Chain A
Amino acid sequence: QVQLVQSGAEVRKPGASVRVSCKATGYTFIGYYIHWVRQAPGQGLEWMGWINPNSGGTKYGEKFQGRVTMTRDTSISTAYMEVNRLTSDDTAVYYCARGVNYDGSGRLLEFDYWGQGTLVTVSS
């Protein structure tokens, strides 16, 4: 069965970086995009960007350009999302989600499987 398993909770100080992993099992990793979505405490969902595991191509939301990097290692079917220069506003649960991409546009937000979420806490 399809599963996305994320790495565990992290605590960082302001200005530091954090990398969250998302290991995919039960399907062909390169056949679907991986999107990252975050949710601050008590707030709504916020789309961050996607990575195409096949090509390594990425698309970031303008808010995250220059501060977020998405990568993947196809040999272990794992996607990564790194956030730099953390502030308290980055405290959130970060989710990876499998994105259907049948038209190759990268504009589909059809997330049929989600990771369990990773809590990142930024505090001095």
Chain B
Amino acid sequence: QSVLTQPPSASGTPGQRVTISCSGSTSNIESNYVYWYQQLPGTAPRLLIYRNNQRPSGVPDRFSGSKSGTSASLAISGLRSEDEAEYYCATWDDSLSGRGVFGGGTKLTVL
């Protein structure tokens, strides 16, 4: 059972906008930065969003992140077939002497 809750699946058609939610608590999301990672099958994760809403160079501006209180979300606009992947949110949790935590992951399907 993950400390951060994500929907197990999401889907959309090419060109659509989809959002993936990440729900946490006051000891993690509310108190710390949120990060988003994209993982294609058989590959290492890739950093998509850092510090809640910042994009690393090379990440298209179709990807955006936001945070409010104990929740965060990743939005993908202009959906493309290559966006089909697993998406994970991550943050620090200040409970239990502190630890990194990931959401359970959301499998995005482009229909």
Contacts and interface: CB of A to CB of B under 8 A. Distances in A.
A45 B3 CA distance: 12
B104 interface: yes
B92 A107 contact: yes
Nearest to B104: A44
A46 interface: yes
Contacts of A45: 37, 39, 45, 88, 90, 102, 105
Contacts of A44: 2, 88, 102-105
B63 to A, nearest CB: 15
Interface residues of A, number: 23
Contact of B35 (A59, A62, A109, A115): A109
Interface of B: 2, 32-33, 35, 37, 39, 44-47, 50-51, 56, 88, 90-92, 96-105
Interface of A: 35, 37, 44-47, 50, 59, 61-62, 95, 97, 100, 107-112, 114-117
